[in-house]
Amino acid sequence: SQTIHQWPATLVQPVGSPLSLECTVEGTSNPNLYWYRQAAGRGLQLLFYSVGIGQISSEVPQNLSASRPQDRQFILSSKKLLLSDSSFYLCASTGPRYGYTFGSGTRLTVV
Amino acid sequence: SQQGEEDPQALSIQEGENATMNCSYKTSINNLQWYRQNSGRGLVHLILIRSNEREKHSGRLRVTLDTSKKSSSLLITASRAADTASYFCATGASGGSYIPTFGRGTSLIVHP
C-alpha cells in the first residue's frame, strides 16, 4: 500500500516570503501525484497534478508552482506568498484502481 | 475532470442512528470512491465501488451506486461519536486523464 509523507504539518510565513512544501510517496512507482488546497469548511481545489517526472499540469493559475524532480517527490512552491495563500494543502497519490492516498496535510498561515 | 457533489452539506444525528449521505456526478465513470476527513487531517479512503457494481459493504459502511441516476449513497450504520467527520466522494473517469474532483463534502456530527 502507498504511504505519503507530507511536511511540515503547520507553517506560519510572512507575506512576501517564499514557500516550499514537500511530498514524498512510498510503496509505489510512477504514481500520479496531486496538490490540493482546501479552505476551511470547503471542498478540495485541485492545484497541480503530475503524471511523471518533470510533467506538471496546472488547474488554477495563481501564485503557486509545482515541480517533480524525482519519481516519488512532488514540491509545491511560491516565490512570494500572499495573504490569500493561507489554506490547508494536501498532497495525494493514485491509485486509479484503488483510489487515492492522501498525506496528512500542511496548515499554512500567511501573516 | 469528474465532479462529485455531496448532499446534505451537514448532518447531525445521535449515536446509534444510521447516517446516509449522497453523491451525484455528471458524466460516465469507471468507479466512485468515498473518503473521510477528520478535522485538520488528510482524507482517508473508505471504499471504492466500480461502475458495474450496485452495492458494496465494508464493516458498518454500505455504498450503493446507481449509474442510471448518476448517484451514490453512503450509509453508516449504528453510528458512533468517532464517526464525526466530513465525508467526500470522488469519481474515476471512464478513460482519459485521471483527475478527480471533490465536492464540499458532508459534515457529519454524531452526538454521544
* CB A76 within 8 Å of CB A21: yes
**Residue A30 CA neighbour count, 13 Å, CB half:** 0
How far CA B34 is from CA of A31, A85, B6, B14, in Å, comes to 20, 27, 10, 22
Mean confidence (pLDDT) of chain A: 90
Tell whether B44 is within 8 A of chain A (Cβ).
yes
- Which of A46, A96, A98 comes nearest B101 by C-beta? A46
| Residue of A1, A2, A38, A44 for testing the chain B interface, max B β-carbons within 10 Å | A44
All 3 cell numbers of residue A35? Answer: 496538490
Q: For residue range B48-84, list pLDDT tens digits in order.
A: 999 999 999 999 999 999 999 999 999 999 999 999 9
By the 8 A CB rule, do B76 and B22 touch? no
Q: Cβ separation of B107 and A41 shorter than 8 Å?
A: yes
Beta bridge partners of B74: B21, B63
- Cα separation of A78 and A66, whole Å? 9
pLDDT at B1: 45
Note the helical H segments in chain A: none
pLDDT (mean) for B29-43: 90
User: A72: pLDDT confidence band, cut at 50, 70 and 90?
Assistant: very high
B3, with CB counted inside 10 A (0-12, 13-18, 19+), is: middle
Nearest by CB to A99, from B33, B41, B102: name it.
Answer: B33
Closest residue in chain B to residue A88, using alpha carbons only: B40
Q: What is the mean pLDDT of residues A7-26?
A: 95
B50 touches chain A (CB under 8 A): no
Q: How confident is the model at residue B14 (pLDDT cuts 50, 70, 90)?
A: very high
